[in-house]
Amino acid sequence: MALAVLLIVGLAALGGYLYQQAGSKSPVVVVVNEVPAGHVVERSDLSTVDVAGGVVAIAGANLESVVGQVATVTLLPNTLLQRSMVTDGDPLGAGQARVGVAVRSGQIPAEGVHPGDVVQVVQIPGDNPSGAGGSAGSAGTVLVDRATVFASAEDPAQSGGTLLTLVVPAAAAPAVAVAGGAGRVAVIGVRP
């Protein structure tokens, strides 16, 4: 009889403990705004959420340690943030450069391009048929076979235009910058 009472009390205590743990929640860091890969994480991009169970995420108390770090992957809203998703290192790899170009409508896919997209950068021929800059109607020249879009924004200086920041091999950066400055760059979306 004493053993039965002890067993009932023990099981009740175990049940109470498990019930209490099931309701126990811990705050973790969650992404609230999309942050493209290679971009700095701002405080406004993050919040905390209480979760139950054994999740792998940065504890809510460590939220400020993430601010100012660089996203290693595109961070999507409502994602629990893990340390492997951010770094304090330089977002550019060795031998890479960021180049700004302005493209007009027709020099970019109709749906646009977004940070993280992979594109081919082509120098389109100039309008001067005398030989300088190529002849009208000739094929373009591929400047970079695979570049990554770092940022994309509407160009306030031209209707339908887009300003792009592209991550390209450092050796190709001057040619892309010159062609972009002359308005002779087109980008083609390619498979990642």
Predicted confidence (pLDDT) at residue 172 exceeds the cutoff of 90: yes
Q: How far apart are the C-alpha atoms of 189 and 192, rounded to whole Å?
A: 9
Is-contact 133 126, C-beta < 8 A?
Answer: yes
As a whole number, mean pLDDT of residues 122-142 equals: 66
| pLDDT of 169 | 95
Q: What is the pLDDT at residue 123?
A: 94
126 has pLDDT over 90: no
What's the distance, CA 93 to chain centroid?
Answer: 15
pLDDT digits (tens, 9 = 90+) for 71-119: 888 889 999 998 888 888 777 778 999 999 999 888 999 888 888 889 9
Digit-coded pLDDT (tens) for 27-38:
999 999 998 888
Q: Which of 35-44, 129-138, 139-148 comes out lowest in average pLDDT?
A: 129-138
pLDDT band, residue 133 (cuts 50/70/90): very low
pLDDT the model gives residue 131: 43
Residue bearing the bigger pLDDT, 8 or 88? 88
- Model's pTM, two decimal places? 0.61
Show the DSSP H helices in the chain as ranges.
Answer: 2-22, 173-181
In the predicted model, what is the mean pLDDT of the chain? 82
Residue pLDDT, tens place only, 11-24: 666 565 555 555 67
Measured CA to CA in angstroms, residue 124 lies from 64, 136, 138 at distances of: 46, 9, 9
